[in-house]
Structure 1
């Protein structure tokens, strides 16, 4: 008997997990009758990595659907399903669970229309945990095997305060746009979720870009367990050591550990 194992661990799979979580896809009643749950991706899962992470799934939905720059469907999700979920929570749920140092602000669109927004520090660690599960699930769906190794991740929708991280975000985006060899953009419901894998680079790293609600981007690099850092990744070690470093990518130069007046 061929027993499948979980997409995240070596336990036997007893169920299937939606990747991304089902709750991210709006119900027809909330989006003008549209069917945005066509051919959703599922992967084999143990119980721990499926039903036992429902709170993380809800956290992710509340955290990203209303990100500034998302499409109208993300806005509708915020005004319907997320609004209903928040009404069931305590008054300080957003402050405690979603956005730290929360502030209410109003922004204007290019047409002059005003929108209320929340500004603050997201729960990075929990967000990365949620996106890690999705990335591992997509890897199994794409390649048919569980990924063994580590992943590196940057959240494209987060405004990082650290200059080095900001520049690394720019470097990663430029690398994906100019040097990586993309595969087909996939996702049966692209207005809610789409993803794109990239061919392994010269070092064997496999890139992945995930996009939620048309505007929330996550950049992922899969590093296999047998991966050995090549010597010409010296720049990354210099950056970690705090040494001023300049990295050319495409026609741009990115500076790290440099102090500007």
Structure 2
């Protein structure tokens, strides 16, 4: 009898790569084997075969981000360019809800940068599936509860979300400082888990191409509902300063409200 799917109670009749195999460059593009010992989990057909389009969407969304390592760059200029040309660049319409090109440099030496508004909901769905798969692989059991994702690689100028993202990144950095980085191909992907907090909530950091950071919090169904006075004050709209180590994070700042 097959094991259960990593996402549901159906039989795991197929094998799912987490993260998707397409995120790992082929040897002909990277020059080295980056597809050794990839993480796999049992999956039903619904949660594997029917999400191939999502896998390709995720690959195009994150491999070409400015700041990625050379592996991401080679992957973007290899397999991803082939995928874009195969679809006559229609694949970009699925990645960006709004997009535009900006040319950086002069007429002799330049780079065209594509930027815009990504399909945020679809990205969240992709990373949520990966988080469930990594949990199954790491702890050998399916996760039961709720998850929440924070995409550290996306940028916003909205004050509170911007400060909250900085707070989570700093908190994760402190808690993960001595934690093992798991994954046999860390130049493409690795993950780290924090210890559960006093409420039973814990976090995983997913890192792709050494620049794309995603933080997923897990709240098990058995966990206690968390309470943090500072964040209750933030939700009420009060100006609040949260201290973490030697850093301060200011929410609902009156100075921000004065800006146009």
- TM (normalized to structure 1)? 0.91
Distance change (3 Å), C-alpha of 1:39 and 1:49:
same
Q: Which residue of 2 aligns with 1:118?
A: 114
What's the counterpart of residue 44 of structure 2?
46
Task: Tell me the CA shift for residue 29 of structure 1.
Answer: 1.0
CA shift for structure 1 position 91: 4.3
Cα distance in 2 between the residues matched to 1:69 and 1:244: 34
1:140-168 deviation per Cα after TM superposition (whole angstroms, max 9, x unaligned): 11101000011121111100232111111
Q: Is the 8 A contact 1:174 1:250 kept in 2?
A: no
Deviation of the 1:87 alpha carbon? 1.0
Q: Deviations over 1:195-243 (max 9, x none)?
A: 1111112221111111111111111111111222233x13223323333
Partner of 2:244: 249
Q: How many Å apart are 1:15 and its aligned residue?
A: 1.0
> Which of 235, 255, 259 is 2:254 aligned to?
259
1:146 pairs, out of 142, 147, 156, with 142
Q: Which of 111, 131, 134 is the aligned partner of 1:135?
A: 131
Distance 1:180 1:245, change over 3 A: farther
How many aligned positions are there? 253
CA distance in 2, matches of 1:125, 1:13: 26
**Contact between 2:200 and 2:224, CA under 8 Å: does it hold in 1?**
no
Deviation at 1:116, TM superposition (A): 2.0
Distance 1:181 1:206, change over 3 A: farther
- Give the direction of change, closer, same or farther, for the CA distance of 1:107–1:251 in structure 2 (3 Å limit): farther
Show the counterpart of 1:217. Answer: 213
Paired position in structure 1 for 2:203? 207
Range 50-59 or range 154-163, more displaced: 154-163
Match of 2:84? 86
Written as runs of structure 1 = structure 2, the 5 A alignment for 1:102-113 is 102-107=99-104
Decide which of 152, 168, 174 is 1:156's aligned counterpart: 152
Which residue is 1:229 aligned to? 225
* Contact preservation (8 Å) 1:181, 1:199: no
Distance 2:226 2:27 in 1: 49
Q: Which residue of 2 aligns with 1:12?
A: 11
The one of 136, 159, 166 equivalent to 2:162 is 166
> Which digits, 9 at most, give the CA deviation of each residue in 1:103-149, with x for residues without a partner?
212346xxxx7432111111111011001111110001110100001
Uncovered stretches (5+) of structure 1, i.e. residues with no partner: none
The answer to whether 1:28 aligns with 2:8 is no
- RMSD of Structure 2 on Structure 1 (CA): 1.7
Indicate the SS of the match to 1:210: strand
CA distance in 1, matches of 2:65, 2:51: 22
Secondary structure (helix, strand or coil) at the match of 1:44 reads strand
**Relative to structure 1, is the Cα distance of residues 107 and 156 closer, same or farther in structure 2, using a 3 angstrom cutoff?**
farther
Give, in whole Å, the separation in 2 of the partners of 1:170 and 1:37: 32
Contact preservation (8 Å) 1:164, 1:256: yes
Change (3 A) 1:234 1:176: same
Q: Choose 83-92 or 138-147, whichever is displaced more.
A: 83-92
